[in-house]
Homo-oligomer: A and B are copies of this chain.
Amino acid sequence: MSQNPFSFRLEARSGDARAGVFTTPHGPVHTPAFMPVGTHGAVKAMMPEQVRATGAEIVLGNTYHLTLRPGEGLVQKLGGLHGFMRWSGPILTDSGGFQVFSLPNKEISDRGVQFKNEVTGDAMELTPERSIEIQNALGADVIMAFDECTPFPADEKLAATGVRRTLAWMERCVRAHARPHDQALFGIVQGSVYEPLRRRCAESLVAMDLVGYAVGGVSVGEGHELLCRITEFTAPMLPETKPRYLMGVGLPEDLVAAIGYGMDMFDCVIPTRFARSGVAFTARGRIRLTNRRYRRDAFPIDVSCECAACAGGFARAYLHHLFAANEILSAILVSIHNVSFYERLMRNARAAVLAGRYEEWRRGFLSEYQSTPAAE
């Protein structure tokens, strides 16, 4: 048996914020880390080399979408998700739970979730065992437990059911996991907005000594304030010595808050989705490139940015034009920029933690970022 390929080294703390290195079979992930989302095995509108050039070290794939199409068997045959999508670095797959719990017609039981395949129309089922089986076939470095993602808002009874199922399913996930030697299984803390439920869930998961821990059931409509409160009281329930992943978060202001509470890893569709609708992130806040005010603007999106779009000299006016003309290059350039913005945000946060001045840096970032609220 080879040495455990996973390790997490905590390099520094600044307040509760952390800087670390999470080692995986496909390379290191320096934390805080943002994972661009590659739902169907592709980060939207970006070549893998362009994703890497942003500084991203790890990307995310969606189990639900990939089992529906093209099917995990085909992905496995073609070299696993790494070979299939030509990404040689670390990959994380979610469990499919979040997606199936978001479906309009599904039946949830202790066994799992029944739903209709939206591609073929066939009846389908996702269970802890099936989710892990799919993720074992996809072959990501990090795989996620199949949990019950409690909707928001949820009363305490519903949230407690979610915690009970999440814990029972966690044990089934651990038993089903066929590749613990090269795939790290992360547990997910549920419990909605209820601190005692989050604590009960976290304590049970921590007792299972998993490779990493996620906070789930957030980014489901609770808003910035509640997200912060949940993260603030849940993060300290997780082991100091393991990576901590806040799922599906978020906007830059969410990320810098969550890092401040001690979270290490993040994923979100916002940078790429916003890009396709013409919204770009800058040090001074978001700008909507489709706005007429940018029609004659000769500056790049952000003069302080070194991404291929900004350093390449593409003017805001050019991007405005590309959106007006419905040119695919608009999505390409702004996706590159937005993911670069997120990755730089992580690097700057990490540098601030290593320098022991995270909170000062965070305030400085927010002060500039929120200085022009009407920029959109």
Contacts and interface: CB of A to CB of B under 8 A. Distances in A.
A318 B78 contact: yes
B327 A70 contact: no
A317 B84 CA distance: 9
A313 B86 contact: yes
A318 to B, nearest CB: 6
Contacts of A121: none
Interface stretch (A42-50, A250-258, A259-267): A42-50
Interface residues of A, number: 40
A74 interface: yes
Contacts of A17: none
Given A312-B86, A317-B78, A327 B42 contact: yes
Interface stretch (A134-142, A328-336, A355-363): A328-336
Given A41-B321, A308-B47, A315-B84, A296 B328 contact: no
Given A74-B296, A296-B74, A313-B86, A69 B329 contact: no
A85 interface: yes
Interface in A290-335: 295-296, 298, 308, 312-315, 317-318, 320-322, 324-325, 327-329, 331-333
A40 B314 contact: no
A77 interface: yes
B329 A47 contact: yes
A314 B86 contact: yes
Among A42, A74, A320, the one with the most B-chain Cβ atoms within 10 Å of its Cβ is A42
A69 B45 CA distance: 24
A70 B329 contact: no
A313 B86 CA distance: 7
A319 to B, nearest CB: 10
Contacts of A295: 70, 74
A329 B85 CA distance: 11
Nearest to A48: B312
A333 B41 CA distance: 14
A304 to B, nearest CB: 19
Contact of A44 (B313, B320, B329, B333): B329
B84 A325 contact: no
A236 to B, nearest CB: 40
A109 to B, nearest CB: 30
Interface string A72-105: 0010011000011110000000000000000000
Given A47-B308, A65-B325, 13 more contacts: A42-B322, A42-B325, A44-B329, A49-B312, A70-B295, A70-B320, A70-B321, A74-B295, A74-B296, A74-B317, A83-B313, A85-B318, A332-B332
26 contacts: A40-B321, A40-B327, A41-B322, A42-B322, A42-B329, A44-B327, A47-B332, A69-B321, A69-B324, A69-B325, A70-B320, A70-B321, A70-B324, A74-B296, A74-B317, A77-B296, A78-B298, A78-B317, A78-B318, A84-B315, A84-B318, A86-B312, A86-B318, A328-B328, A328-B331, A328-B332
